[in-house]
Structure 1
Amino acid sequence: MENIMVRVLEGRNLFGKDNGVYLRANKDVDKSEIFKIIKSYKSIEEDLNLHSYIEIFEKNEAVEVFIRNKNVNLCNLIISSIINNLDKYDILEKAKNSMGNDWSKKIKELADDKNISFVKINEDEVNLGYGENSFVITKKDYINKYNEDNLRVFDEIKEKILNIPIISVTGTNGKTTTVRLIHKILLSLGYKSGLASTGGIYIGDKSIKHGDTTGFYSAREVLKNKNVNVAVLETARGGILKKGLGYKNAKVAIITSVSEDHIGMENIKSVDDLIKIKSLIAEEVDQDGIVVIKSIPALVERFKKKSNVILFNDFEDSLIKEHIERGNTAYYVKDDYIVKNSGGIEERIISVKEVPFAFYGISKSNTRNIMVAMIAVEHIDKDISNIINVVKRLECNIDTNLGRQNIIDFNGFKMIIDYGHNSEAFKEVFSIANSIGNKKIVGLITAAGDREDIYIKELGSIAARFCDEIIIKEQPDLRGRSKGETATLLKEGVLYTGYDEKNIKIILEEEEAVLYALKNANSGDVIVSFSQFLYLTFPVINKFRSEIGLEKIGENIELVH
Structure 2
Amino acid sequence: MKNFRIKFLMLRWRLIKIIRQYGVNFKIDLNIPSAFVTGSVGKTTTCRMLAAILTENGQIVALSTTQGIYIGKETIRIGDSSNCTHAYRLLIDKRAQTGVFEMARGGLIEQGIAFDGCDVAAVLNVYDNHLGLQGINTRKEMAHVKSAVAKSARKMVVLNADDSLCLAMRDQIAASSTCLVSMLPDNPEIIDHMRTGEFAVFLDNKKEPVINMCKGSELIGAIPAIEIPDSYDGLFRPALFNAMFAAALAYGMGVKFNVIRNAFRNFHSNEETNPGRMNFHKHLPFKVLITWADGAKALDELVYFIREMNFPGEKYLMFCSMGNRPDRFIKDMGKSVAGIFTHYICYDHDDLRGRPPLEAAQLLGEGLIENGVKREGITIASSRRNGLEIALNKPSINDLLVVCTFASDAVRKEVLLKGK
TM superposition shift of 1:412: 4.6
In structure 2, the partner of 1:517 is: 391
* 1:539 matched to 2:413: yes
Length, aligned pairs only: 398
1:513-539: CA deviation from partner (whole Å, max 9, x where unpaired): 223222221233222111111343123
Q: Aligned ranges for residues 170-185 of structure 1 at < 5 Å?
A: 170-185=38-53
Cα–Cα, structure 1 residues 322 and 523, in superposed 2: closer, same or farther, change >3 Å? farther
Q: Distance in 2 between matches of 1:331 and 1:304?
A: 20
* 1:402 matched to 2:271: no
Which of 183, 188, 191 does residue 318 from structure 1 map onto? 188
Contact 1:472 1:491 in 2 (8 A): yes
Q: Which amino acid aligns with 1:196?
A: S
Q: Which amino acid aligns with 1:200?
A: G
Q: Distance in 2 between matches of 1:340 and 1:212?
A: 32
Which of 210, 229, 245 does residue 356 from structure 1 map onto? 229
Q: Distance in 1 between matches of 2:240 and 2:215?
A: 20
TM-score by length of 1: 0.67
Q: Distance in 2 between matches of 1:430 and 1:248?
A: 41
In structure 2, the partner of 1:268 is: 136
Q: Distance in 1 between matches of 2:250 and 2:391?
A: 40
SS in 1 for 2:69: strand
Cα–Cα, structure 1 residues 9 and 265, in superposed 2: closer, same or farther, change >3 Å? farther
Q: Distance in 1 between matches of 2:279 and 2:126?
A: 23
TM superposition shift of 1:410: 4.2
Q: Which amino acid aligns with 2:214?
A: N
The structure with higher relative contact order (CA 8 Å, sep 6+) is 2
1:159-196: CA deviation from partner (whole Å, max 9, x where unpaired): xxxx3211001111111111112122212321121111
1:28-86: CA deviation from partner (whole Å, max 9, x where unpaired): xxxxxxxxxxxxxxxxxxxxxxxxxxxxxxxxxxxxxxx6446xxxxxxxxxxxxxxxx
Q: Which amino acid aligns with 1:472?
A: C
TM superposition shift of 1:341: 2.9
* 1:308 matched to 2:181: no
Residue identity (%): 25
Q: Distance in 1 between matches of 2:99 and 2:172?
A: 28
SS in 2 for 1:381: coil
Q: Which amino acid aligns with 1:433?
A: I
Q: Distance in 1 between matches of 2:287 and 2:307?
A: 12
SS in 2 for 1:417: strand
Q: Distance in 1 between matches of 2:389 and 2:314?
A: 17
In structure 1, the partner of 2:200 is: 330
TM superposition shift of 1:343: 2.4
Contact 2:275 2:408 in 1 (8 A): no
Contact 1:165 1:230 in 2 (8 A): yes
Q: Aligned ranges for residues 129-140 of structure 1 at < 5 Å?
A: 129-130=29-30
Cα–Cα, structure 1 residues 201 and 502, in superposed 2: closer, same or farther, change >3 Å? same
Q: Distance in 2 between matches of 1:541 and 1:412?
A: 12
SS in 1 for 2:251: helix
* 1:199 matched to 2:73: no
Contact 1:10 1:244 in 2 (8 A): no
Cα–Cα, structure 1 residues 256 and 502, in superposed 2: closer, same or farther, change >3 Å? same
In structure 1, the partner of 2:36 is: 168
Q: Distance in 1 between matches of 2:130 and 2:270?
A: 28
1:452-494: CA deviation from partner (whole Å, max 9, x where unpaired): 1110111011121432321111112111111111112111111
Q: Which amino acid aligns with 1:318?
A: P
In structure 1, the partner of 2:164 is: 297
TM superposition shift of 1:347: 4.5
In structure 2, the partner of 1:240 is: 108
Q: Distance in 2 between matches of 1:269 and 1:315?
A: 29
Q: Distance in 2 between matches of 1:69 and 1:461?
A: 46
Q: Distance in 2 between matches of 1:338 and 1:397?
A: 22
Cα–Cα, structure 1 residues 304 and 438, in superposed 2: closer, same or farther, change >3 Å? farther
In structure 2, the partner of 1:372 is: 245
Q: Distance in 1 between matches of 2:93 and 2:413?
A: 35
SS in 2 for 1:266: coil
Q: Which amino acid aligns with 1:274?
A: M
Which of 382, 385, 388 does residue 508 from structure 1 map onto? 382
SS in 1 for 2:125: coil
Q: Distance in 1 between matches of 2:36 and 2:172?
A: 21
1:283-330: CA deviation from partner (whole Å, max 9, x where unpaired): 1122xx111112211211231575622111222223323333343322
Contact 2:221 2:257 in 1 (8 A): no
In structure 2, the partner of 1:439 is: 313
In structure 2, the partner of 1:487 is: 361
Q: Which amino acid aligns with 2:133?
A: M
Contact 2:54 2:255 in 1 (8 A): no
Q: Which amino acid aligns with 2:295?
A: N
SS in 2 for 1:425: helix
Q: Distance in 2 between matches of 1:508 and 1:434?
A: 29
Ranges in structure 2 where 5+ consecutive residues have no aligned partner = 1-13
Q: Distance in 1 between matches of 2:409 and 2:270?
A: 16
Q: Distance in 2 between matches of 1:310 and 1:338?
A: 14
SS in 1 for 2:202: strand
Which of 265, 277, 292 does residue 145 from structure 2 map onto? 277
Q: Which amino acid aligns with 1:322?
A: D
Q: Which amino acid aligns with 2:90?
A: V
In structure 1, the partner of 2:7 is: none
Q: Distance in 1 between matches of 2:16 and 2:164?
A: 31
TM superposition shift of 1:246: 2.5
Contact 2:38 2:122 in 1 (8 A): yes
Q: Distance in 2 between matches of 1:214 and 1:242?
A: 12
TM-score by length of 2: 0.89
In structure 1, the partner of 2:3 is: none
Give the superposed CA RMSD. 2.2
Which of 452, 464, 471 does residue 345 from structure 2 map onto? 471
Q: Distance in 2 between matches of 1:424 and 1:353?
A: 24
In structure 2, the partner of 1:252 is: 120
1:203-236: CA deviation from partner (whole Å, max 9, x where unpaired): 1111122211111211111122221121111111
Compare CA radii of gyration and give the structure with the larger one. 1
